[in-house]
């Protein structure tokens, strides 16, 4: 049997389980509305045998070989949906798939939602683009070089701009139609001050066991009985962004500094490692679907704080955080403008364009090549279309939050 036939049967089986699950849920809902104390003698949810099925009892060696080949053959979206389908079959398939699929740092690929909070590759950056919708104040992050003509781009993250009395919030979600903080698709937010010169990156889960305490104002918005048990009600500060004030109104691009509180400066040194989350609260969404038969059951993933990061104990204390600064552009006499080498990824001049490099003290003995390496670059390529390329030690979530800060109006910095 070919791999395509296997994958096709897996999808058909998953769809069959989903329809059976929905019929069972509708039956439960109908019975709950009937005011009767008679206990039905028919079990309404006989899904356990169906959930396992014929594919759950494959020999481990054969299962490992199948998923290995599927993972190696489907390297880009939308074909990589097949890898997610393998993880949706049952618990044994999911466990093997999670074991085989590497982090973006190791393989340079985005597969599951947790990949969006893991550091990017060290060598070549992951290339994405952002589409802005001025009418709805939303910003959609897609995977790929540029928008495709057929509109089948892979949506990674979405953000919505919300104006408040004291500043602006960018609420970040996994889907483009749900920005509620009580939703299981909520991943974090970006909050600005009144002037739009300082921003705080908030994550919906603690970066590590001894992480920064949740923002008090955000925590009070939710009562413990109102918050979803699968979603953290707190916001944990993982980074801050500061734009320098341009008091003299001199010509030039914006100057910014990003302090990544959750990433130690040792991460960019030789042999250093960046925090790498290994699990998220159970997420069921249309981008990275789990098997419908798993909905409503106990979470498969352990969300205890000790399993969130594989991080050295010494880095959980008071360590020096990584600081990023925008790379200084050069003045082009012929063009009469400030220029940066974006290597063809940015084509339209804009005050929002920037490149971020590490700002380290000479005592850290970091090579010149590492100091000049662009960790994140962002720029305009068309009307409401921008590119975003990021690499280690930033994650897609952190890079997206930094880029969102550039969309806010900053009269005092220009």
**What are the pLDDT digits (tens) for 298-348?**
333 333 333 333 333 334 457 899 999 999 888 887 877 788 889 899 999
Decide: 130 and 143 in contact? Cβ < 8 Å. Answer: no
**What are the pLDDT digits (tens) for 124-177?**
999 999 999 999 999 999 998 888 877 778 999 999 999 998 889 999 999 999
Asked whether the predicted pLDDT for residue 264 surpasses 50, the reply is: yes
Q: Supply the pLDDT for residue 377.
A: 96
Q: Which residue has the higher pLDDT, 307 or 245?
A: 245
**What are the pLDDT digits (tens) for 273-300?**
998 988 876 544 334 443 333 333 333 3
Decide: 324 and 375 in contact? Cβ < 8 Å. Answer: yes
- Nearest 5°: CA angle at 133, between 136 and 286? 80
Asked whether the predicted pLDDT for residue 369 surpasses 60, the reply is: yes
Average pLDDT, integer, range 347-372:
88
Q: Supply the pLDDT for residue 86.
A: 87
212-226, 237-251, 348-362: least confident range: 212-226
Average pLDDT, integer, range 171-191:
92
Cα-to-chain-centroid distance, residue 307: 18
Q: Supply the pLDDT for residue 252.
A: 61
Please report, for residues 125, 129, 158, 211, the alpha-carbon distance to residue 141 in angstroms, rounded to integers and kept in the order given.
Answer: 15, 6, 6, 27
Q: Supply the pLDDT for residue 337.
A: 79
Q: Supply the pLDDT for residue 20.
A: 43
Q: Supply the pLDDT for residue 105.
A: 93
Q: What are phi and psi of 301, to 5 degrees?
A: -90, 135
Which distant-in-sequence residues (6+ apart) come within 8 Å of 216 by Cβ? none
Q: Supply the pLDDT for residue 241.
A: 95
Asked whether the predicted pLDDT for residue 181 surpasses 90, the reply is: no
DSSP β-ladder status, 354-358 and 385-390: unpaired
Question: Which residues on neighbouring strands pair with residue 201, listed in sequence order?
Answer: 190, 239
Average pLDDT, integer, range 202-227:
52
Q: Supply the pLDDT for residue 148.
A: 81
**What are the pLDDT digits (tens) for 48-93?**
444 556 777 888 888 889 888 988 888 888 888 888 888 888 888 8
Q: Supply the pLDDT for residue 37.
A: 40
The sign of the CA dihedral 215, 218, 223, 224 is negative
Question: Which residues on neighbouring strands pair with residue 323, listed in sequence order?
Answer: 259
Q: What phi-psi label fits residue 384: left (phi over 0), alpha (psi between -120 and 50 degrees) or beta?
A: left
Q: Supply the pLDDT for residue 351.
A: 86
Q: Supply the pLDDT for residue 56.
A: 77
pLDDT band at 8 (very low <50, low <70, confident <90, very high): low
Coil, strand or helix: which one is 163?
strand
Q: Supply the pLDDT for residue 299.
A: 37
Please report, for residues 13, 16, 18, 49, 116, the alpha-carbon distance to residue 54 in angstroms, rounded to integers and kept in the order given.
Answer: 10, 14, 17, 10, 33
CA gap 241, 7 in Å, rounded: 44
Q: Supply the pLDDT for residue 211.
A: 37
Coil, strand or helix: which one is 57?
helix
Q: What are phi and psi of 305, to 5 degrees?
A: -65, -25
- Minimal CA–CA distance to 312: which of 359, 276, 358? 276
Cα-to-chain-centroid distance, residue 308: 15
Please report, for residues 87, 120, 175, 232, the alpha-carbon distance to residue 191 in angstroms, rounded to integers and kept in the order given.
Answer: 35, 24, 19, 18
The structure tokens listed for 339 are 């220029």
Alpha helices for 112-250 (secondary structure H) = 216-219
Q: Supply the pLDDT for residue 282.
A: 52
Residue with tokens 């329809």: 19
Rounded to a whole number of angstroms, the CA Rg of the chain reads 23
Q: Supply the pLDDT for residue 234.
A: 59
Residue 178: other Cβ atoms inside 10 A: 16
Q: Supply the pLDDT for residue 384.
A: 93
The sign of the CA dihedral 277, 281, 285, 291 is positive
Decide: 303 and 281 in contact? Cβ < 8 Å. Answer: yes
- Minimal CA–CA distance to 265: which of 189, 198, 363, 197? 363
Asked whether the predicted pLDDT for residue 47 surpasses 60, the reply is: no
Q: Supply the pLDDT for residue 1.
A: 54
End-to-end CA distance of the chain: 63
Asked whether the predicted pLDDT for residue 375 surpasses 70, the reply is: yes
CA gap 171, 102 in Å, rounded: 28
Q: Which residue has the higher pLDDT, 294 or 381?
A: 381
CA gap 205, 214 in Å, rounded: 9
CA gap 278, 308 in Å, rounded: 6
pLDDT band at 44 (very low <50, low <70, confident <90, very high): very low
Coil, strand or helix: which one is 250?
coil
Q: Supply the pLDDT for residue 7.
A: 58
Q: Supply the mean pLDDT for the chain.
A: 76
Alpha helices for 188-313 (secondary structure H) = 216-219
Q: What are phi and psi of 381, to 5 degrees?
A: -125, -5
């Amino acid at each position: 049997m070919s791999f395509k036939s296997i994958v096709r049967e897996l999808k058909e089986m998953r769809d069959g389980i989903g329809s059976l699950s929905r019929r069972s849920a509708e039956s439960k809902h109908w019975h709950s509305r009937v005011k009767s104390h008679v206990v039905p003698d028919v079990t309404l949810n006989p899904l356990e045998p169906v959930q396992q099925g014929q594919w759950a009892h494959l020999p481990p060696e054969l299962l490992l070989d199948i998923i290995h080949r599927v993972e190696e053959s489907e390297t880009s979206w939308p074909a990589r949906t097949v890898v997610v389908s393998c993880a949706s079959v049952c618990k044994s398939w999911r466990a093997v798939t999670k074991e085989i699929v590497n982090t973006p740092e190791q393989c340079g690929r985005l597969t599951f939602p947790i990949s969006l909070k893991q550091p990017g590759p060290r060598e070549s950056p992951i290339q994405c683009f952002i589409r802005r919708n001025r009418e709805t104040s939303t910003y959609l992050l897609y995977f790929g070089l540029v928008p495709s003509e057929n509109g089948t781009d892979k949506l990674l993250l979405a953000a919505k701009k919300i104006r408040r009395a004291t500043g602006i919030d960018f609420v970040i979600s996994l889907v483009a139609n749900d920005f509620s903080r009580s939703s299981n698709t909520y991943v974090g937010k970006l909050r600005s001050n009144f002037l739009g010169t300082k921003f705080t990156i908030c994550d919906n889960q603690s970066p590590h066991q001894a992480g920064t305490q949740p923002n008090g104002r955000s925590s009070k918005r939710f009562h413990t009985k109102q918050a979803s048990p699968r979603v953290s009600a707190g916001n944990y500060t993982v980074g801050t962004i500061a734009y320098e004030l341009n008091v003299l109104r001199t010509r030039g691009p914006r100057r910014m500094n990003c302090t990544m509180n959750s990433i130690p400066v040792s991460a960019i040194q030789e042999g250093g490692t960046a925090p790498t989350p290994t699990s998220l609260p159970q997420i069921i969404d249309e981008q990275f679907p789990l098997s419908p038969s798993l909905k409503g059951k106990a979470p498969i993933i352990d969300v205890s704080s000790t399993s969130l990061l594989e991080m050295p104990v010494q880095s959980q204390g008071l360590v020096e955080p990584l600081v990023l600064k925008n790379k200084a552009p050069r003045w082009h006499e012929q063009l009469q403008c400030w220029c940066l080498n974006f290597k063809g990824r940015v084509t339209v001049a804009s005050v929002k364009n920037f490149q971020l490099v590490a700002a380290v003290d000479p005592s850290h003995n970091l090579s010149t090549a590492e100091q000049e390496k662009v960790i994140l670059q962002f720029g305009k390529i068309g009307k409401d279309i921008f590119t975003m390329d990021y690499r280690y030690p930033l994650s897609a979530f952190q890079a997206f939050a930094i880029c969102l800060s550039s969309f806010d109006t900053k009269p005092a910095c220009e």
